[in-house]
């Protein structure tokens, strides 16, 4: 169990929140998180790279010259892989890269990864009401008050996406906004700082702590 200070819109500590997640044992933690990360990255691959073999390349049905007597190497097709414009030897073909992982293992890896970032975790009060209209500059100023440096890669987690917050955040290259139920291992590990609202923190512990 970890106690975290809750900051308001102005960046002042106004309350305290508790983070209590069931995580993997220390000797297994890095292994299970690594497996979950590899699975996520592999499952994101489209696997649609494709090249043509000599049988699929257009043309090449006629023998380019007779077998003997020309002084040149024998050739049966202008679409041989040895020729320019020919087929590709052992080239890529569409394939599935998907890896399977049990749901309980995935949840355990997610909780372990999230708990491991507690040093970089910033808990804030719900601030959707502070942005009555899309204001990127105001959101950046608030992040600065929360202790986030300019262009520091940040993950912002909310219990649900609010339009004004989404529109304010989408133009900030170093900021990624996700809902609490869209949590994933890659985003957790990729960010330098993680900002989570107190409602989202409660939702994470309710949804993923099973």
pLDDT of residue 40: 96
For the question of whether the overall pTM of this predicted structure is more than 0.75, the answer is yes
35 beta partners: none
Give the C-alpha separation, 210 to 208, whole Å: 6
Span 72-119, pLDDT tens digits: 999 999 999 999 999 999 999 999 999 999 999 999 999 999 999 999
Query: Does position 210 have pLDDT exceeding 80, yes or no?
Result: no
What local confidence, expressed as pLDDT, does residue 151 receive?
87
Question: In terms of DSSP H, where are the helices of the chain?
Answer: 26-43, 103-116, 136-145, 163-169, 185-190, 198-208
The SS3 call for residue 153 is coil
- In tens, the pLDDT along 42-64 reads 999 999 999 999 999 999 899 99
Q: What is the CATH number of domain 2-44+100-208?
A: 3.40.1370.10
Vertex 71 angle, CA 68 and 77, to 5°:
60
Of 22-26, 78-82, 148-152, give the range with the top mean pLDDT. Answer: 78-82
Q: What residue segments make up the domains of the chain, in order of their start?
A: 2-44+100-208, 46-96
Q: β-pairing, 13-19 with 2-7?
A: antiparallel
């Amino acid at each position: 169990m970890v106690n975290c200070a809750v900051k308001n819109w102005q960046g002042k500590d106004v309350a305290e929140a508790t983070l209590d997640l069931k995580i993997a044992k220390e000797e297994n933690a890095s292994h299970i998180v690594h497996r979950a990360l590899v699975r996520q990255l592999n499952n994101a691959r489209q696997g649609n790279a494709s090249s043509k073999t000599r049988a699929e390349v257009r043309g090449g049905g006629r023998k380019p010259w007779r077998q003997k007597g020309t002084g040149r190497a024998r050739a049966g097709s202008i679409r041989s892989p040895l020729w320019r414009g020919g087929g590709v030897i052992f080239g890529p073909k569409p394939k599935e890269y998907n890896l399977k992982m049990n749901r309980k293992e995935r949840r355990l890896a997610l909780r372990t990864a999230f708990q491991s970032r507690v040093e970089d975790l910033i808990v804030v009060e719900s601030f959707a009401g502070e942005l009555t209209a899309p204001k990127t500059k105001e959101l950046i100023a608030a992040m600065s008050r929360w202790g986030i440096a300019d262009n520091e890669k940040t993950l912002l987690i909310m219990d649900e996406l609010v339009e004004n917050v989404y529109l304010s955040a989408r133009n900030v290259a170093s900021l990624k906004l996700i809902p609490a139920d869209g949590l994933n291992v890659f985003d957790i590990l990729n960010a330098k700082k993680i900002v989570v609202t107190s409602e989202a923190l409660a939702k994470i512990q309710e949804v993923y702590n099973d």
